[in-house]
Amino acid sequence: MRRVLLSAYQCAPGGGSVSQIGWEWYARLARRMHVTLATHIRNREVLERAGAPLPNTEVIYIDTEWLAGPLYGVAKRLFPNSEHSVFLLSSLDFFAYDMALVREAKRRMKAGERWDIAHAVTPVSPSSFTRLARLGIPVVRGPLNGGLRTPAQFPELMKADSSWLYPLRDLSKPVRSVLGNRVIGDVVLAANRATREGLTKRERRIARPMMEIAVDPSQFNATPWPEAPTQENPLRMVFVGRLIPAKALSLLIEAMKEMKEEYPMQLTVIGDGPMRQEWERQAESLGSVIRFVGAKGAQDVVRAIEESHLLCLPSVRESGGAVLLEAMSCGRPVIGIAHGGPGEIITADVGWLVEPISSRAVIDGLKEALTDLFQHPDAWRARGARGRTVAESIHSWEAHMDQMCQIYDELAPIAQSGVEG
């Protein structure tokens, strides 16, 4: 049976998007092979409540709280309105975590423990290089999702998001270029075009496509599409996400304002964040047409999607877009911006992409999409049905695991014995 050392710095079921990614890889690979999970000690309580170590696995907890805690405190004070910037700065302790993991893994290998593959699955940022190659076994990194450029055509949105900090992600690129295979691994999984373009030349040569997000369609029911919207039956939309500047909910609100006299619509906003009060004020003139219901549990989110005609995610800077896959699994069409993750997920047969030319262009694009839904409801019903099929065949976690096992099989014959000093 294959033995994998899975490094998931973030790994906790229900602990946020990246932490959930770490958990999905751990739990699903454990059904196929022996997995040694290495993760940060902050995840221990949640993992143990979820049953870790899972059958046929063991867990190594790495403690770097001496650095992580102070970094998080500084980041929260510097960037109170930018969760992405807080995450970026506070995650710098990953490099201390990685060094500690390599030391522990080398100690175990000298004592007789064996792994065929080392796979660093989180963090998902390309800047998070790893020293796992020092173990003398093949190394996989990813799926990585990063390199998404700040959309300069939306300065009014991104100013509040501390987007000037984003280029700091590239500081590790010279290190990765110089050290090469010692830190970049043997295979790099890249989630999207922006990620691939942001890799070093050497990383691009070993890169393979794989999105960092996926879905378990068995957890969702493709319920019948609601009765087509008319003047008497409003179009029902749902938005799900953190209320931060880059999500650009303000553009959807403005589009609804400009359409209110011609087309009846309702929007349920699920999520919370620093922009909630401002966006609630913006929506006041629409009365009860837009409901802000705060953060909700998974079941409530699914119920809201099932009750809606579509999910709209107008985010102008979205690296992933897992909620799009959830909506597709429910048989609902989706609307998003042709940038980052949504640009990779949404095609014309499952939804509608709006080009991110400017704020005005996005508002007009949203209006065009919503008008088309009123005029051609059967086409949108078909998009929802097709979305379910695409989610099952392309974007499911099991499809990811199948692909990963093939890559492991390719790499296993080059496994070397011994440990680099």
* Residue 140 · residue 411 · CB < 8 Å: yes
Which residue type does 155 have? P
Using CA atoms, how far residue 133 sits from 9, 92, 137, 320, in Å, is 17, 20, 6, 28
Compute the CA torsion angle 28, 32, 36, 38 (nearest 10 deg): -20
Round to whole Å and give the CA distance between 246 and 231: 32
* Matching residue, tokens 């940038």: 339
pLDDT in the model for residue 416:
44
pTM of the predicted model, to two decimals? Answer: 0.82
Q: Identical fold at 3-214+396-414 and 217-393?
A: yes
Round to whole Å and give the CA distance between 236 and 233: 9
pLDDT in the model for residue 103:
96
Backbone phi and psi for residue 352, each to the nearest 5 degrees, phi listed first: -145, 130
pLDDT in the model for residue 169:
57
Structure tokens at 46: 């949640």
| Domain positions in the chain | 3-214+396-414, 217-393
**CATH class of the domain defined by 217-393:** alpha beta
Q: Is the peptide bond before 70 cis (omega within 30 degrees of 0)?
A: no
Residue 396 contacts by C-beta under 8 Å, 6 or more apart in sequence?
A: 214, 215, 216, 217
- The whole-number mean pLDDT for each consecutive block of 10 residues of the chain, a chain of 421 residues, reads 95 86 97 97 96 96 84 68 59 88 97 96 89 95 82 66 54 71 88 88 93 93 92 95 93 96 95 94 93 94 96 91 95 95 94 95 97 97 96 94 95 53 42
* Residue 195 · residue 147 · CB < 8 Å: yes
Secondary structure of the chain as H, E, C letters: CCEEEEEECCCCCCCCHHHHHHHHHHHHHCCCCEEEEEEEHHHHHHHHHCCCCCCCEEEEEECCHHHHHHHHHHHHHHCCCCHHHHHHHHHHHHHHHHHHHHHHHHHHHHCCCCCCEEEEEECCCCCCCCCHHHHCCCEEEEEECCCCCCCCCCHHHHHHHCHHHHHHHHHHHHHHHHHCHHHHCCEEEECCHHHHHCCCHHHHHCEEECCCCCECHHHCCCCCCCCCCCCCCCEEEEEECCCCHHHCHHHHHHHHHHHCCCCCEEEEEECCCCCHHHHHHHHHHHHHHEEEEECCCHHHHHHHHHCCCEEEECCCCCCCCHHHHHHHHCCCCEEEECCCHHHHHCCCCCEEEECCCCHHHHHHHHHHHHHHHHHCHHHHHHHHHHHHHHHHHCCEHHHHHHHHHHHHHHHHHHCCCCCCC
The yes or no reply on domain 3-214+396-414 and CATH 3.40.50.300 is no
* Residue 334 · residue 366 · CB < 8 Å: no
Closest C-alpha among 327, 374, 335 to residue 227? 374
